[in-house]
Structure 1
Amino acid sequence: MHASPPVTLTIAGSDCSAGAGLQADLKTFQYFSVFGLTAVTCVVAETPKVVRSVHAVPPAILQDQLRVLLEAFPIAAIKTGMLFSKAHIVAITEILEQYRGIPLVIDPVMIASTGDPLLEENAIAAYKERLFPLATVITPNLDEAEVLWGASARDEQTMERAAHELSARHGCAVLLKGGHLGGPVCADLLVENDLPTWFRSPRIDGAASHGTGCTLSAAIAANLALGGDLHDSIATSKRYLDRVLATSLSWENLSVLNQGTIHFH
């Protein structure tokens, strides 16, 4: 009989183009040989170039997914992606408060790479007050950090201040992703137990950015499930993301411009 692999759960939206969301998470889990479970928060009609519509799963159904999975499987790590609303965040925390021993990676998804909103404004307080206190690490990009911190962080010095303050405020580690800084190097900053660590990698020109945040946070969760500490899990995940970006795919018919208005249901 084969040994059972560690089990990793993603709580995220469904991206029908499979470049982000729970589909990207499952591909990442498969790469790291962990068994992936999914709790769906939203069904999103999108491609890397356009977000057409978002249909939210009722919070009660989301809770049912979480209960049945947490009761049935020995889940070793959890990550969250697109949570969409205050009601969904509250629904998740009501369940996860009972499972504080499981490592929790929170990617606070707010805006799609197309610029479309993926989070209702009143959900931000719920992130801060309810979910972040349960986190092992949160992984905001610079735009998300600006919303959470309340000020702009557009250089490495300010990134350090933002990451330290967010970590102290919420009682968890913070991986602040600096890809939006520009320049030839992508610099991400981990603050854990008030200690800063920089992770730097060359920027890969022409790489597709759709789903990179999902992929990185899923990789971190997978490596935590495998027993790695947070620092080593991030280092391994960054190397994996670099390989993904270096071999990213594109199709000509995806060059269609984003047209129309996003619809929420």
Structure 2
Amino acid sequence: MTGRITGRALTIAGSDPTGGAGIQQDLKTFAALGVWGLSAITAVTVQDTTGVRRWEPIGPELVRAQVDAVMADVGCDAAKTGMLGTIETVDAVARAVTDHVIGPLVVDPVLHAGSGEALSRDDLAGAIRESLLPNAALITPNVPEAATLSGLEIATLDDQKEAAVALAADGPVAVLVTGGHLDGDRVTDVLFVDGELHEIVGRRLDAGDVHGTGCALSAAITAFLARGEKLETAVRGAHDLVADAIARALKLGQGARVLEVRA
């Protein structure tokens, strides 16, 4: 690497025309952390800050071809997945990440938009568990995603911890269940790594609805891993970075605020 570029990170995810989530947010977060951003687009969405209107998947063979092209030329030091949309795309991505040396893989198991609309078809959660999690360094579900993936009801911090341990049985090196959907003055993210549970606690910020927080968090973790940081260090660094961005969230449109991540 030369100049300020300290690593290469690949995002395999959907496109958000507002730039608040998806590959656009991922690439901006990579850049903020001095990491060269690479991308493979899995879906095109029609959305704004108020919600998702519609989306169409990119064919799985074209998704795979994008990953192959990046890896044959530039390569990467870490990668993340976001919106995958269809079982066929999950399978194509799973084969790609096993065929290439991509470095640590962060799986952000996007099933719905923050505004509630479905961003997946069929039993995507089952496909993610079966095909992607065995190859993941980290999975970063929020509470609803963790509940769907694990089949557990999550209403308390103890439930959050139980889900993290349960998901680790599917093969990922570590599990981070973010706690923003649970009530309380504080937000607790639960990290399960090396057989130990860790609580990452922050103050609940009065920022209203904020778009793209999960994308920014998983992208920041991926960028830190691409720079060579240890996993727990990467998670804690990303948590602080995104908390700062939430506190400064911008009101650009008619709906949710958006993040401007700064290192």
TM-score in terms of structure 2 length: 0.93
Tell me the C-alpha RMSD between the 2 structures.
1.5
Q: CA deviation at 1:61?
A: 0.7
Are the aligned partners of 2:8 and 2:76 in contact in 1 as well (CA < 8 Å)? Answer: yes
The runs of 5 or more residues in structure 2 that have no matched partner are 257-263
Question: Which runs of at least 4 in structure 1 moved beyond 4 Å after TM superposition?
Answer: none
* Amino acid in the other structure paired with 1:183: G
**1:53, distance to aligned residue in structure 2 (A):** 1.1
* Secondary structure of 1:131 counterpart: helix
Counterpart of 1:181 in 2: which secondary structure?
coil
Partner of 1:158: 159
- Matched residues in 1 for 2:193 and 2:165: separation? 9
Cα deviation 1:49-91 (Å, max 9, x = unaligned): 1211102111111111000001111300000000000000011
Partner of 1:90: 91
Please name the residue that 1:178 is paired with. 179
Give the conservation status (yes or no) of the 8 Å contact 1:137–1:175.
Answer: yes
Partner deviation per Cα, 1:162-185 (whole Å, 9 max, x = no partner) = 111111233431000111112111
- Superposition deviation, residue 208 in structure 1: 3.6
**Distance in 2, Cα, partners of 1:84 & 1:62:** 12
Preserved contact between residue 79 and residue 102 of structure 2 (Cα < 8 Å) = no
Q: Using the TM superposition, give the Cα deviation of residue 101 of structure 1 relative to its aligned residue in structure 2, in angstroms.
A: 6.0
Q: Does 1:198 align with 2:219?
A: no
Partner of 2:189: 188
Report the counterpart of residue 2 of structure 1 in structure 2.
Answer: 2
Deviation at 1:122, TM superposition (A): 2.2
Written as runs of structure 1 = structure 2, the 5 A alignment for 1:42-191 is 42-99=43-100, 102-191=103-192
SS in 2 for 1:169: coil
Identical positions, percent: 35
In structure 2, C-alpha distance between the alignment counterparts of 1:155 and 1:253, rounded to whole Å: 33
3-state secondary structure, aligned to 1:179: coil
- Which secondary structure state, in structure 1, belongs to the residue aligned with residue 160 of structure 2? helix
C-alpha deviation, 1:209, in angstroms: 2.3
Structure 1 counterpart of 2:182, one-letter code? L
Query: Aligned-pair distance for 1:100?
Result: 5.4
- Mapped to 1, the partners of 2:239 and 2:220 lie a distance apart of 8
**Aligned equivalents of 1:252, 1:109: Cα separation in 2:** 23
The SS at the match of 2:181 is helix
Amino acid at match of 1:124: A
Structure 1 residues 7-26: Cα deviation after superposition (integer angstroms, max 9, x where no partner): 10000000001100000001
Q: Give the aligned length.
A: 255
Q: Distance in 2 between matches of 1:18 and 1:63?
A: 23
C-alpha contact 1:104 1:136 (8 A) present in aligned 2: yes
Contact 2:177 2:189 in 1 (8 A): yes
| Match status 1:232 vs 2:233 | yes
**Aligned residues of 2:49 and 2:253 also touching (Cα < 8 A):** no
Structure 2 Cα separation of the partners of residues 100 and 117 of structure 1: 31
**Letter in structure 1 aligned against 2:239:** K
Corresponding letter in the other structure for 1:116:
E
Distance 2:2 2:42 in 1: 32
